[in-house]
Amino acid sequence: MKATTAKKIRRIAPGRDGIGPGGSTLLEALKRNRQLFEQTGHYHGVKSLKLKSDNYLRYESLHARLRSSVVNAREMAKKISASPGVREVGESVVALYTPEGDSIALSTGIMVHVHTLSRFIQWMIEHDYETDPGIAPGDVFANNDPFISDVHPPDLMNVAPIFHDGELIAWVGTVAHELEIGGVMGGANQSTTAERFGQGLTVSAEKVAVNDVIRRDFLVRAQMNLRTPIYYILDEKAMVAACIEVREKVLEIVAEHGVDYYKQAIRSIIEEGRRAHLERMRLITVPGKYRSAAFSGHVFEGKVGASGLSTNCIVHIPLEMTIDRDAVLTIDYEGAGSKMWNPYNCPPSAMDGGFFVTLTQFVDFDGKVNDGCWYATKMILPPGSWANPMDEATCTSSAWGSLMPGFGCLQRMISRSFFARGFREEVFLGQVNTPIMEGGGISQYGGRFGAQNLECAAEGSGARGIMDGIDCGYVGWNPESDMGNVEVWEMAIPILYLGRRIWRDSPGAGKYRAGATFSSLLLIHKTPVYNLVSTIHSDKTFDNQGMCGGYPGPTARFQYVSRASNIRELIANRQPLPHVEGDPKSPDLQRLVKGDFETVDGVFLERPLRDGDLVQFFYNTGGGYGDPIERDPAAVQVDLDKGIQSLDIARRVYGVVANYNSASKLHGVDEDATRQAREQCRRDRAARAIPVKEWLAGQRERLLKQDFVREVKEMYNDVFGISPRWGREFRDFWNLPDDFTFKS
């Protein structure tokens, strides 16, 4: 997109060329800022933190107040919002930026956006918004265009300039995750579309408020283009209110400290953030080269409602992490597959998002994180790959589908360095995919609706290095995770929960298991049509890894559906109803209910549901840590008593022999039998395992025979094409001819 060539509209105070620092234009300021870093290696050329050493109190209190201004504004915004996303599960963030768009301070919330708002601001600067449409006090700009800057379209962002004597001295930005943005299906993370054009209402860096008043035409557009405009409009109001709130507070602070001091201080705060990050890396990690890989497989072919453009595919998500001598962290996605005709592509800003949400949880969690940390890290995103499509028409509506496995790799690699350094309490195999139940149709109130059910925001987490993962309380994209109340979700969506319970045997197994996740069994209620979709399911593939001998978390691959069911009849006759999965071999929904039952492989249901239909939705959880047969039998017993594990899995996976006492309703572990079972397990391993070198020889034959399904071969061929380096490594590893490819 080119900068507009419209003739200059002077909106700036006389006696200055631009609204930027010292009368410069913002573009000049931005260039200078980048130059200063390249030349000096310090943010904005700030070599010494003398502001801090000269007057410690003044400096720290300024920093503290800037931070509390954004934290408080977020709390206010949450109260205004109508969206269960923002209000019930806190899907928002507020942050303060320099004139060049570097973040100074952030609230808690979706830390994903430390740098996405930066890119948005910088995009406007680079495209000379200063001239047209002009940037004036009281303006607010909105964006959810991922190729300007965003993680994906549901994240609606607002930024507002903060002026002092005609000079722009800061930006305030805020983001809210919308539950409905008017795409081809109801909801927000459109998974059935293959290009940006089906993603829903896209706002591309537009001026949406003037003099603190939201433009009528912007609200009208939302009103006309969304199924449930109330969420969007009240969130927009909440965000503008938050921007105004922060602006007022910042101007108070500036008045108190003097604008010159403020200007120096914000530079210093960011440089400090940069140095703090490097020092922390040096304190808690080990330098070296780390590798990990994840895969996300998707099924579209032959599915009613899928875009004809979307093919089955396996997303290749290789990650190499280097921590160098100077503690600079570099992550390199070399080998990532090409951009795709599906919603799982990530614009660079989305990759920033994934990077930051990981760093802030693992390294920079002292609450003083800012873009300094971005200046202390590097990310390499191969052009043309899903991680950097270089094509604005690419669909990114479910970018998280690739981000989460991708940055799950980063969590695992950083954890490995924590382990080596001795900080085992920081080892955390956090994130995996979060399937979001979304869709639209006719609501229980009779009107049209579209919404996401964000209860997925409290899945199980991967295991920790000294204890089990978090049960039903974690998602990678928002550390302040929550599933909200059923009584609230049922207000927003025409469903009646028959159950929301822990999914038995879901945790990735290990000496320390992953957190248990849950599944929801829903009766579609008081609607003639509800088009239900899932946003992400890594159909057919695990999207995460275990560590130190633990197993990956489950795929949550199937959803269960039962249409035209006899549920009403069952109810009338007081017969048992399904609430949980039950026996995986014959699920309760199939066993107890007559109806046409299907197990849906992955992302979406092909036909709309209606009143009386049933659906069971499964959520993911992460990988385990350590060899499962080294798990404390007492811990297994507790899991049995809580219903998190079954006797069957306890025996097979953990080698724990236990029994159930129906009188006490508790389980008992047979110590001796358990010891024997575990010894036997080691003997079995010895018996069935073969030396790796031997196995490799066999695998090489398989490669030469090309004995793989189409999707696998296509993944490899695609990667060979986009990354000769990766192809070379592959062929070297298997000792294959240099021209080896797969025939399709």
Partner 1 sequence: MNTYPKDLIRDLIDGRLPWPTTKQVMSDFKDAGRFETYIEILQERVSWQERILLPLGEHLYIVQKGKARIVKCDCGHEFGPYTENWKLSASIFVRDTDEKLEEIYPGARKCDPDWMEIREYCCPGCQTQLETEAVVPGYPIVFDFVPDLEAFYRDWLKKPLPSN
Partner 2 sequence: MAGKALVLGIDAGGTMTDTFIVDEAGEFTVGKAATTPHDESVGFLESAADAMSYWQTDHKSVYPQLEVALYSGTTMLNTLLTRRGKNVGLVTTAGFEDDILMGRGMQSWTGYSYSDRIHAVTHVHPAALVERRNVYGVTERVDVFGEPIIPLYEHEVQAAAQELASNGVEAIVIHFLYSYLNPAHERRAHEIIQQALDRAGRKVPVYLGSDLRPVIRENSRLNAALIEAYAVGPVREQLHKVEESVQSRGYRYSLQTLLAYGGLCNIRYPRLHETLISGPVGGVMGARYISELTGMENIIVTDLGGTSFDIGTITRGYVPVDAEPVLARFKLNLPTIAMESIGAGAGSYVTVDPVTKKVQIGPGSAGSTPGPVCFGKGGKIATITDCDLLLGYLNPDYFLGGKQKLDKQAALDAVKEQVTSVIGVDVYTGSEAIVRMNEREARDAIRAVASARGLDTSQYYLFGYGGAGPLHLAGYCEGLDFRGVITFHFAAAFSAFGATTADYQHRYARSVPLALAAGADDKAKASVAQAINRTWEEMERAARDEMSADISRSQKIKFTHLAMIRYGGQLSDLEVVSPMARLRSARDVDRLIADWEDLYSKINSRVARYEQAGYQIFELGLLASVEKVKPRIERHRLGKSEPDKKARKGIRNIYWKGRWTPATMWEMETLKPGNRIKGPAIIEHPATTLIVPEGKRVEIDEYNFFWLK
Residues 396-435 that bind partner 2 (CB under 8 A): 425-428, 430
Dihedral sign, CA of 305, 310, 314, 315? negative
Nearest to 458 by CA among 429, 432, 483: 483
Q: Cβ 158 to partner 1, closest distance in Å?
A: 33
Residues 321-360: x/- map of binding to partner 1 (CB under 8 A)?
--xxx-----------------------------------
Establish if 161 lies at the interface with partner 2 (CB under 8 A): no
Q: How far is the CB of 522 from partner 2 (least distance, A)?
A: 10
Q: CA 323 to CA 413: how far, in whole Å?
A: 11
**Cα 438 to Cα 488: distance, rounded to the nearest angstrom:** 15
- Note whether 99 and 171 are within 8 A (CB): yes
Using CB distances below 5 to 8 A depending on partner kind, what does residue 57 bind out of partner 2, partner 1, none? Answer: partner 2
Q: Which of 542, 604, 619, 720 binds partner 1 (CB under 8 A)?
A: 542
Question: Helices 116-126 and 348-362 meet at what angle, rounded to 10?
Answer: 140
Instruction: Return the residues of window 272-301 that contact partner 1 according to CB under 8 A.
Output: 280, 282-284, 286-293, 295, 297
8 Å CB contact between 225 and 219: no
Output the 3-class SS for 458-478. Answer: HECCCCECCCCCCCCCECCCC
Structure-token pair, residue 187: 């909801």
Three-state DSSP class for residue 602: coil
Please identify which residue in 665, 689, 737, 744 interacts with partner 1, judged by CB under 8 A.
689
Under a CB-based contact definition with an 8 Å cutoff, are residues 265 and 240 in contact? no
φ/ψ (deg, to 5) at 377: -135, 160
Stretch that binds partner 2, among 153-161, 162-170, 489-497, 704-712 (CB under 8 A): 489-497
* Max CA distance (Å), the chain: 88
Q: How far is the CB of 299 from partner 2 (least distance, A)?
A: 29
Q: How far apart are CA 647 and CA 658, in angstroms?
A: 7
Q: For the beta carbon of residue 576, count every other beta carbon within 10 angstroms.
A: 10
Q: Is the dihedral of CA 560, 604, 433, 449 positive or negative?
A: negative
Q: Number of residues in contact with partner 1, rule: CB under 8 A?
A: 95
Stretch that binds partner 2, among 175-183, 192-200, 662-670, 715-723 (CB under 8 A): 662-670
Edge to edge, the sheet with strand 140-143 lists: 103-106, 92-97, 167-177, 155-164, 140-143, 206-210, 213-214
- Residues in region 50-89 near partner 2 by CB under 8 A: 53, 56-57, 60-61, 64-65, 68, 71-72, 75-76, 78-84, 87-89
Count of Cβ atoms closer than 10 Å to residue 497 Cβ? 17
- State which of positions 700-719 bind partner 1 (CB under 8 A): 702-703, 708-709, 711-712, 715-716
Omega before 14 within 30 of 0, i.e. cis:
no
The one among 552, 578, 622, 633 contacting partner 1 by CB under 8 A: 552
Binding residue for partner 2 (CB under 8 A) from 382, 484, 587, 602?
A: 484
User: Does 274 engage in binding with partner 2 (CB under 8 A)?
Assistant: no
The tokens for 179 are 């539950």
Site for partner 1 in 442-481 (CB under 8 A): 466-467
Residues 565-594 that bind partner 2 (CB under 8 A): 571, 574, 576-577, 579-580
Identify which of residues 125 and 357 has a Cβ nearer to partner 2 in the complex: 357
* Binding flag, residue 457, partner 2 (CB under 8 A): yes
Binding flag, residue 741, partner 2 (CB under 8 A): no
Three-state secondary structure string covering 263-312:
HHHHHHHHHHHHHHHHHHHHHHCCCEEEEEEEEEEECCCCCCCCCCCCCC
* Interaction mask 178-207, partner 2, x per CB under 8 A: ------------------------------
Q: Is residue 256 a contact residue for partner 2 (CB under 8 A)?
A: yes
* 624 belongs to the binding site for partner 2 (CB under 8 A): no
Binder to partner 2 among 207, 237, 607, 652 (CB under 8 A)?
237
Residue 651 within binding range of partner 2, rule CB under 8 A: no
Two tokens at 21? 């620092």
Q: Interface with partner 2 includes 365 (CB under 8 A)?
A: yes
Residue whose CB is less far from partner 1, 286 or 488: 286
- By beta-carbon proximity to partner 1, the closer residue of 43 and 503 is 503
581 binds partner 1 (CB under 8 A): yes
> For partner 2, which residue of 259, 328, 496, 669 counts as binding (CB under 8 A)?
496
